Structure 1
Amino acid sequence: MTARRRDVLLSAGAFLAAATLPGRAGSAQATGAAGGPPEVVLSGGFVVSMDPSVGDLERGDVHVRDGAIVRVAAAIAAPGVVRRDMSGCVVMPGFVDTHWHMWNSLARGLPQSRLGPFGKTMAPLARAWTPEASALGVRLAAAEAIHAGITTVHNWAHNVKGPDFAEAEREALAASGLRGRFAYGYPQALGEDAAMDLSDLERMRDRHFARESAGLLSLGICARGPDRSAASVWRREWEAARSLGLPITAHVASDRAAAAMGNIVVMHRDGLLGPDVQLVHATHASRDDLRLVAESGSPISISPWTELEVGYGRPAIADMADAGVEMGLSVDNMVLAGHADMFGVMRITADLARGLREDQGALTDRRVLEWATIGGARGLGIAQTTGSLTPGKRADVIAVRRDAINTAPAGTVDFMLTHAAQPANVDFVMVDGVVHKENGRHTRVDVEALLAQAQESIARLRQKAG
């Protein structure tokens, strides 16, 4: 067994070992039938279901059994079932992050250096990166996702330098217990005229994703697309992905120069947009571009904090909403964003839309909350599984304290969630019926040990990169 393989398995084992620790008596972590996910009633919280047929309940219960939502109602009698007191909390679906470069989370806070801005700083680090570092970056990001109430991630793996890098990220993500899509990518140093490793993409699909046993993960590809690779290359990658039945994601119209290339028009003309093709950023997409995107059904993922930090500009959020584009939100990467905070992403999304339109009513708090939950799930093609507290869907549930110094009192629950709450207010996190955070603390991750590994790893990488 190679050192790399051993390290990745040990990383996964750390997650799995933590998951087997017994829960406290009477807690939601109590083991269910046959050792499976627990049956529990999350009781007495302010329920924000994000399902119009269920609505909001000022005081409500959510019944979970075998990893699925059984019922949502004002009061649920379930004799013999553990009840978890959610009073003082908003109970809601977990957040869906639609674009996250999880591998480089170890490089938090290195948006520029003596080498120059973001791209020039990250290039030598990306060359020095190892499969072990990629796995550790995913583990760190996954732990922070749980801390922040993000239960679904779209892992944009855009430094896959070989099959061992892809396996390392996939294994770490699977071991985390998060729901998500692994978007198989390319090496950062790949030339514009060279295609990504399409043969290994097919191998990974056949080995890990060809059956129902793929667990909580699905597979897609992250491509450089028409803005960042030659036409013959990105068209070949599109054709390969679609022949394998895999969804595609690419950064498009991120800056003015990219938008001026007119590639959204080309993609629409040639039938290369659609619900299976997610566009990321689209910061400088025109209103005509956005009309074509909406017409095609392609979703857009935006990350306003990083779009500002890296200098792309201000996304035309209100125009995107007006066009009827399927929208999702993103923390993007920790190098630029600093931390994974979907509450902060919602706030800047709402307020940028209003400020740029000079209209406080340009975008409602509830609309932004939709983008962070059920809208993101629709964009990733998993709205039948997650994104709302709907009976029959999987139990991806979080509880956010509404009685904290920074959240009470609040005029509306929508304002509280989009403008007042922070990751530290996330008290409880459940993914597929399994508890990952309770009473504000991780239940499956040794955070202290993980941070020590991360500090040691990035120090080595920086030394190696020079």
Structure 2
Amino acid sequence: MPDISRRAAILGGVAASLGAAATLAGCADAKASNTGSFLVRRASSVLTMDPARGELTNADIRVDDGRITEIGTGLSAEGADVVDASGCIALPGLVDTHWHMWNSLARGFGQTSKGGFAPSMASISGLFSPEDSGLGVRLALAEAVNGGITTVHNWAHNVIGPAHAEAEFEAMHSSGVRGRFAYGYPQALGAAEPMNLTHLREFAGSLPDGLVSLGVCARGPDRSEDAVWQREWDTARSMGLPITTHMASNAEAAALGGVEKLDARGGLGPDVQLVHLTAASPADLDAIARAQSPVSISPWTELQVGYGLPPIAAMQNAGVPIGLSVDNTVLSGSADMFGVMKLTADLPGGMDAKQGVVADATVLDWATAGGARSLGLGDVAGVLAEGRPADLVLVQSDSVNTAPVYDATTLAVRAANPSNVSFVMIDGVVHKRDHRLVRVDVDVLLAEAQDAMASIRGRAGI
């Protein structure tokens, strides 16, 4: 196991890099108690995403000690902090299934003096210190909560050294946001070199309890040699860790036959998430569906980087489990899951020249319950139901861009945006109230992010 004093020093440095006010906010998050009671009162609609309950109108949600205890009308407010939800839609916290959080400092870096996305990021990725990576994750998490995302899958694909992994994990753990940390590799790692599997094993044995679980993000057959990805697969599975990999992102990658390689070796399954599959063939999708490997799509970034149009309808028709993704704010610009839902709902109709190819209700499921199931977190996220952890958001339905309301699901998928999110609770702890983040000192966080990125740009000559 890693030396505890070394880890404490690293994590202390991460906290110090955020400044005094941000450090206090981070400590409050890490130690926030979910003991206590809340009554979310009179939501105009409650989209439970629970097939047994469906949508409720003019309903209350009672939360006690971090869990939903009742959903109904006229519930008791005794001993509870009452949250006025009139004029709001209540829904489960949104689930992002693939997000490179470390590079959130590089927002808008998709085109620079160095060229497009790949050369631009290559010019700066090696310059990120552990503190920079942790700060990028903290910035991403603040934006996630602001936009109603309560579960994240942090795809850490710039783990330059052990300290980078530890800094990213600590940023997640201290935030109080639910999620998975997918341990990865340095951006500059050669295709013949494996990730640091020795530290992965040490790291896995020393993690604290909490809302953040561990997985592995690997380069897979599309981006590493066969002996390398096979060793990484075997190691992750021997440790019981879920795996995620980019696959068939474009025609060139798809031509490598990575899906077929995985299928032939038993490398697919519910524990292996495939990301993008923009150029996947019908045979690929059939193999993935048979194995029930979940897929994460990120239509905004797939369009901008030139991967092409994600075959959303074909995935759905094949029976592939689907989750949605911001991917990165370098390309997407913002962590707007509402925008991701809207584009996901409309792209199949544009591709097939037919309205309604994918239903709004289906897309909302992919952003909540279905996304949680795809990460193996279906028992703790994505659904509002008695006995489950209280991860919920309120979306204003009486704003100029959301009213009048015809259908709550359509509003969530097509009209809402992060500015409409007025309240966010994760595991019974309030993170946003009255449109204000209450567990993050935003001014300090943004100042630190600006300074860190200015330093990185200066060293990169951009």
TM-score (norm 2): 0.95
Contact 1:43-1:84 within 8 A present in 2 as well: yes
2:154 is the counterpart of 1:193: no
Match of 1:460 in 2: 455
SS of the aligned residue for 2:76 comes to coil
**Partners in 1 of 2:294 and 2:22 — Cα distance?**
32
Match of 1:27 in 2: none
Match of 1:335 in 2: 330
- Structure 1 runs (4+) greater than 4 angstroms displaced: 1-5, 11-16, 19-22
> Alignment partner for residue 25 of structure 2, among 14, 18, 32?
18
**1:373-417 residue CA offsets vs partner (Å, 9 max, x unmatched):** 001100110101111001111100000000000000132111111
Match of 1:51 in 2: 50
**Partners in 2 of 1:263 and 1:250 — Cα distance?**
11
**Partners in 2 of 1:443 and 1:368 — Cα distance?**
29
Contact 1:99-1:330 within 8 A present in 2 as well: yes
**Partners in 1 of 2:444 and 2:278 — Cα distance?**
38
Contact 1:254-1:283 within 8 A present in 2 as well: yes
Q: List gaps (5 residues or longer) in structure 2.
A: none
**Partners in 2 of 1:103 and 1:415 — Cα distance?**
32
Match of 2:396 in 1: 401
Q: List gaps (5 residues or longer) in structure 1.
A: 23-30
Shift of 1:127: 1.1
Shift of 1:7: 2.4
- Count of residues in Structure 1 that have an aligned counterpart in Structure 2: 452
TM-score (norm 1): 0.94
Distance 1:44 1:389, change over 3 A: same
Match of 1:41 in 2: 39
**Partners in 1 of 2:20 and 2:318 — Cα distance?**
46
Match of 1:216 in 2: 211
Contact 2:47-2:409 within 8 A present in 1 as well: no
**Partners in 1 of 2:179 and 2:345 — Cα distance?**
25
2:13 is the counterpart of 1:7: yes
Distance 1:66 1:149, change over 3 A: same
Distance 1:392 1:112, change over 3 A: same
2:436 is the counterpart of 1:436: no
> Alignment partner for residue 281 of structure 1, among 276, 280, 299?
276
Match of 2:183 in 1: 184
Match of 2:139 in 1: 140
Shift of 1:58: 1.4
SS of the aligned residue for 1:196 comes to coil
Residue 18 of structure 1 aligns with an amino acid whose one-letter code is: A
Match of 1:449 in 2: 444
Shift of 1:9: 3.3
2:408 is the counterpart of 1:389: no
Residue 39 of structure 2 aligns with an amino acid whose one-letter code is: V
Distance 1:9 1:456, change over 3 A: closer
Match of 1:28 in 2: none
Contact 2:26-2:174 within 8 A present in 1 as well: no
**Partners in 2 of 1:337 and 1:15 — Cα distance?**
26
**Partners in 2 of 1:19 and 1:314 — Cα distance?**
39
Contact 1:92-1:389 within 8 A present in 2 as well: yes
Distance 1:456 1:293, change over 3 A: same
Match of 1:300 in 2: 295
Match of 1:379 in 2: 374
Shift of 1:74: 2.8
Distance 1:14 1:244, change over 3 A: farther
Shift of 1:80: 3.2
> Alignment partner for residue 265 of structure 2, among 237, 261, 270?
270
Shift of 1:6: 3.3
Shift of 1:244: 0.6
Shift of 1:82: 2.7
Report percent identity of matched pairs: 52
Shift of 1:77: 2.5
**1:183-225 residue CA offsets vs partner (Å, 9 max, x unmatched):** 00000000000000001001110011xxxx5200100000001
**Partners in 2 of 1:89 and 1:199 — Cα distance?**
49
**Partners in 2 of 1:156 and 1:87 — Cα distance?**
37
Match of 2:115 in 1: 116
Q: Where do residues 161-180 of structure 1 align in structure 2 (5 Å cutoff)? A: 161-180=160-179
Shift of 1:234: 0.4
